[in-house]
Structure 1
Amino acid sequence: MRYDEAVVDVMDALTSDDPDDVVSWCRTGAEAAVIDTNLDRALSGNRAAAFGYVRAWRSLADAVLAPVHFDVTGTAAPTLRIVLDATAMEAPFSAWVARTGQLGVGACAALVAKIRETIPGLAPITVASQELPGLDRSETQLGAFHRNVIAALAESELPLERIMSVFDVTVTDVGRMFGVSRQAVAQWRESGVPGDRQEKIATVAAVADLLASRLKTGHIPGVVRRPADAYDGRTALEMIEADRHDELLDRIRESFDWARPA
């Protein structure tokens, strides 16, 4: 293992035997603030915030791991990522959060401590706590947090967010596509898409993924807004609005020769 001189502060946090040094480093970083903002709402059952928390957690992990280079086999890095993902579920309830009284800083410190455990020659750094942090959340909220984080760890992006980013559409546009108000779409982004809309969301997300796999990202918003003979003169967005999303997916697959032998 070797250290990059440009990130001494991170390495100081990783190699110090003083828990206060870990906490101090976490308090100076922007990542902990982003985690704090998302984690507070995620613990109340907010699905979108849980996804934001996981993204911020992984970004922080990248920042901490960046200066550390291990001479290990190729399987070690993926294994470490899995371990760190699992820690994302535990971090809000750790002794570090109890010690600091701050969700973001405490979660950050828990992450640093977990990474330290993988550095040869360094003893684990721990903090003592006799009780769980006082999160003041109901069992229902914490259950939702658990489910949402599991979903976030399994996906890189919520299907609805994927649709919005690939097609470059607004909340109002999505409401029109799915026949609901923009307020309903905002609620979906906060609490998840209701069961009776999941099938259409999944199909439209599949359209987005298919286009993204075959076209340049910047071209897709124009493509889905261009009328096509294959869609009876409609645009792809209008096909979705007309509940012809299954047909749209089939037509796009055919256009890319997915269903035809070479």
Structure 2
Amino acid sequence: MVMEDKFEKIGDSLIQHGKFNNRIYLMKTTPKGTSRIISKMDKLAEEKGYTKITAKIFADSFPRFLLAGYRVEAYIPGYFNGEYDCMYVSKFTDEKRKKLPVIEMKRFRELLRENPTNGKTQPVDLPQKEFVPGSLDENDAEAITEVFKRVFETYPFPVHNAEYIKSTMQNNSAQYFGIWDEGKLIGISTAETDWNYKNAEMTDFAVLPEYRGQKLAFRLLEYMEKEIKKAGIKTAYTVARLRELGMNKTFMNAGYKYTGTLVKNTHIGGSIESMNIFYKKL
């Protein structure tokens, strides 16, 4: 059974917390609710023994978090309506958790050095065979979960559950995309969309093992960008696994800019991993 962290509304803020990621994640808040949510999260972390608190906040709110012991790990320009910036800020209660994974960071820095044009779209050789990308709906929910189960042993959100997939479709918080080989769903991705602030997280890229190495994630990303831009989204971003250099390079080739690393942040693929933030203005 996959352990899942829970979502909880506190005032006008939304958090996710639990022992699975062993953290509190402030997913949404407002400048008005900042002081209250900081004290609430501190108390909750102490009660539950969580070793990290991470928050996605309005840049203007950062001074309050700084005074409360937080540090900046990454940022996204134009996150709010293409105009106002957001920051990822974090506080650690465990010294071991706050240490950067040295070997993984060294490999990533080498990738950055090899790709000095970070932020500009690069030409990519796509497979000769015509794999077809498109949008998915509730009828595809079971097929989506089957792909996720084959690709991810664990995941920070309950994507192995078809009912969860359907619920995100029904409340319009996520748009799902797929790519097929002669009618077989072989790869998927998600745009977790914030319609109020006109941004989308490009996430949940999963390609079946036997189809990897054919730039299918890049093709999905291209298709997603076109669809969400047509729908009015202004800023796209991603939270990519530090150790998965291929996925990082996919976003770099697509013109996304790297802005920082969330240290030991997310339980995915069987362990807690560090995650890189990339963004692109559409």
- Normalization by structure 2: what TM-score? 0.25
- Normalization by structure 1: what TM-score? 0.26
**Greater fraction of residues in helix:** 1
**Greater fraction of residues in strand:** 2
